[in-house]
Amino acid sequence: MRDFILKRMIAVILAFIFVYGFYVILHGHISPGGSFAGGIIVSLSFIAFATVYGIDKGKEKLPEKFLVWVESYGTLWYGLMGLVGICKGAPFLANKLAGIDLGVPGTLSSGGLIGLIGFGVGIRVASTMITLFYTLMEGDA
Amino acid sequence: MKIRHIFVAVVVLLALFGMLLMVAELPPYGSADNPGQNMVAQRYINDALEDTGVPNMVTAVVLDYRAYDTMFETIVLFTAALAVVVALKPAEEEGDDA
């Protein structure tokens, strides 16, 4: 797939898909959508890039080492967010019980830890999907 | 037919019989006093905004009430990716030990 029209189209819309994915991740707690769906959209932008421009160029843009890094530390990030509750004398992964300010419902910074946890889950889902795609493409070639 | 096949058939039929007995004991589908429709769902609907501060109730359940579940869901994803990479990744050049 080295079509000129396809390449130019992807070059135009790729950034919008990417930004929209992060929008869905970051607004997961105040709008329909969520971190899993947003992570899939972010990964789709890179999968489209790697499909059209070739897997090697995709790996130049987003090296596998970085993906592995995100994947591992995303899980750790979730655990660290859980430890915030313990440090404040509340159960693991506690949010309101730990005395965190929940903010005004409906604003981006509301929800205490929920937004931070959602961001971690979102980038983890994205990196997992891209890793699976890279691996399956390589096995095919 | 070997005796082993008959034994397996009897065991399977017994297990099937037990499952059908359990199905007969299930409460009617959609009934208002089912155990599934207890105070938990009502509690989420009433208190989710106050407890978590987010208007999206699904996110409130997934990332706050059931945060443990989501944590291990992400670990399931991690394990799935790990398994695919280990199974399908072409081996690097022959290492010093293998």
ipTM: 0.77
Cβ(A52)–Cβ(A7) below 8 Å:
yes
Residue B97, domain member (yes or no): no
Q: What is the pLDDT of residue A103?
A: 79
Q: pTM value?
A: 0.79
Q: What is the pLDDT of residue A141?
A: 53
Residue B7 has pLDDT above 60, yes or no: yes
Q: What is the pLDDT of residue B8?
A: 95
- Tell me which residue in B53, B74, B81 faces A121 most closely, judged by beta carbons: B74
Q: What is the pLDDT of residue B98?
A: 44
Other Cβ atoms within 10 Å of B74 Cβ, number: 23
What are the chain B neighbours of A31 within 8 Å (beta carbons)? 56
Q: What sign for the dihedral angle of Cα A35, A39, A40, A42?
A: positive
Q: Which range is least confidently modeled, A15-24, A91-100, A119-128, B71-80?
A: A91-100
CB contact under 8 A, B56 and A121: no
CB contact under 8 A, B54 and A124: no
Q: Higher confidence at residue B5 or residue A33?
A: B5
Integer CA distances (angstroms), B87 to A16, A135, B48, B81, B92, in order: 34, 10, 42, 10, 13
Confidence grade of residue B93 (pLDDT, cut at 50, 70, 90): low
What kind and span of H or E run contains B31?
Answer: none
The whole-angstrom distance between B61's CA and the closest CA on chain A is 10
Residue B45, domain member (yes or no): yes
Most confident of A22-26, A113-117, B39-43, B54-58: A22-26
Q: What is the pLDDT of residue B95?
A: 56
Across residues B21-30, what is the average pLDDT? Answer: 86
Residue A17 has pLDDT above 90, yes or no: yes
Number of domains in chain B: 1
Confidence grade of residue A136 (pLDDT, cut at 50, 70, 90): confident
What kind and span of H or E run contains A64?
Answer: helix A64-87
Residue B76, domain member (yes or no): yes
The three state secondary structure string of B23-83 is HHHCCCCCCCCCCCCCHHHHHHHHHHHHHHCCCCHHHHHHHHHCHHHHHHHHHHHHHHHHH
Residue B94, domain member (yes or no): no
- A126 phi and psi angles, rounded to 5 deg: -60, -50
CB contact under 8 A, B52 and A111: yes
Cβ(A110)–Cβ(A30) below 8 Å:
yes
Across residues B11-21, what is the average pLDDT? Answer: 95
Residue B12, domain member (yes or no): yes
What is the extent of the structural domain holding B48? 3-28+35-88
Across residues B29-58, what is the average pLDDT? Answer: 83
Give the pLDDT confidence of A75-134 residue by residue, as tens digits: 888 888 888 888 888 888 888 887 777 878 888 888 788 888 889 999 999 999 999 898
Residue B96, domain member (yes or no): no
Residue B93, domain member (yes or no): no
Residue B80, domain member (yes or no): yes
Q: Does B92 touch chain A (CB under 8 A)?
A: no
Across residues B45-61, what is the average pLDDT? Answer: 86
